[in-house]
Amino acid sequence: MAADFDAVYEALHALMKPLEKDLVVVHDKPGNYYLNTRIPWKGKDLYFGGIVIRKNYVSYYLMGVYMYPDLLDGLPVDLRKHMQGKSCFNFKTVEPSTFKQLAALTKRSFQRMKKEGYIS
C-alpha cells in the first residue's frame, strides 16, 4: 500500500509544486510538503497548503477553500467525495480526472488569495 501512496503523493505534489516561486517552501521531503504565503496574516505565517502521507490515505490541504468557501461552489461530485473537513482532500489512489479538478481548484485558490493580498 505504501508504494501506491508514494505515487499518489507524487501526483499531488506535481499539482502544487509550480506555485513554489510565489510561496515559501516550509517542508519538501518525502511524504511531507508544506507551503506558506510570503505575506503574513495577523502577524503569523499563513499556510497555503500541503500534502502529507498518512496511515490510510494521502491528504491534500488547501487553505484557500477554508478562507473562501465560495471556491467550493459547483465542486464536482468526484472531487467532493474526497473532501474531509473544510480544507482537506484524502486519496488512496491516483485519479487523473479528479486530480485535474483539484489542480483547477488549487489554481482558483491561489488566484483568490493573491487577489485578496496574501500572495504578492
pLDDT at 2: 59
pLDDT at 17: 97
Can you tell me whether residue 102 is helix, strand or coil? helix
Instruction: Quote the CA–CA distance of 6 and 92 in Å, as a whole number.
Output: 10
**Type of residue at 45:** D
Contact criterion met (CB below 8 Å) for 79 and 67: no
C-alpha cell at 35: 507551503
pLDDT tens digit at each of 120 positions of the chain: 456 999 999 999 999 999 999 999 999 999 999 999 999 888 888 999 999 999 999 999 999 999 999 999 999 999 999 999 999 999 999 999 999 999 999 999 999 999 999 998
Contact criterion met (CB below 8 Å) for 103 and 16: no
Q: Where are the domains of the chain?
A: 2-115
CATH topology of domain 2-115: Aspartate Aminotransferase, domain 1 (3.90.1150)
